[in-house]
Amino acid sequence: MIHAARQWYPYYEPNKSELHISVVDPDARRKIDSLCQDYSLVKKTCEWSVYQMDINCSEFHQAKFLGAKQKHPGIDYIYVCLEDETVGLSSALCLLEQTQLSNIPILVRMTEETGMASLLKETETGTGGLTRLHFFGLMERTCKPSLLNDGSHAALARAIHEEYVHAERRKGNTPETNPSMVTWERLSEELKEMNRDQADDTGSKLHAIGCDIFPWSDFGADKFAFSPEEVEVMAKMEHARWCKLKMDQGWKYAEVRDDKKKLHPSLLGWEDARFNEGEKEKDRNTVRQIPRFLAMAGFQIYRITPANTAS
Query: Of 105, 126, 142, at which residue does a domain stop?
Result: 142
Structural domain includes residue 311:
no
CATH at residue 136: 3.40.50
Query: Of 142, 168, 197, at which residue does a domain stop?
Result: 142
Q: Considering the entire predicted model, what is its pTM?
A: 0.68
Measured in degrees and rounded to the nearest 5, phi and psi for residue 73 equal: -70, -20
> Is the sign of the CA dihedral 72, 75, 81, 85 positive or negative?
positive
What residues make up the domain containing 49?
2-142
76 & 39 share domain? yes
Q: From CA 112, how far away is CA 278, in angstroms rounded?
A: 54
75 & 187 share domain? no
Spell out the residues 6+ positions from residue 266 whose beta carbon is closer than 8 angstroms to its own: 242, 243, 275, 279
293 & 158 share domain? yes
9 & 136 share domain? yes
Q: How many structural domains does the chain have? A: 2
Provide the 3-class DSSP secondary structure of residue 157.
helix
Q: From CA 86, how far away is CA 84, in angstroms rounded?
A: 6
22 & 103 share domain? yes
Task: Please report the pLDDT score of residue 74 as a whole number.
Answer: 78
Predicted confidence (pLDDT) per residue in 148-173, tens digit:
344 567 888 888 898 888 888 988 99
CATH at residue 286: 1.10.490
Q: Which amino acid is at 237?
A: M
Task: Please report the pLDDT score of residue 250 as a whole number.
Answer: 94
Query: Of 142, 167, 193, at which residue does a domain stop?
Result: 142
Predicted confidence (pLDDT) per residue in 170-209, tens digit:
889 998 888 889 998 899 988 898 899 999 899 999 999 9
Task: Please report the pLDDT score of residue 125 as a whole number.
Answer: 46
Residues of the chain with pLDDT under 70: 68-73, 112-129, 138-152, 307-311
Structural domain includes residue 308:
no
Question: Which of 47, 49, 53, 90 minimizes the C-alpha distance to 69?
Answer: 49
Task: Please report the pLDDT score of residue 149 as a whole number.
Answer: 43
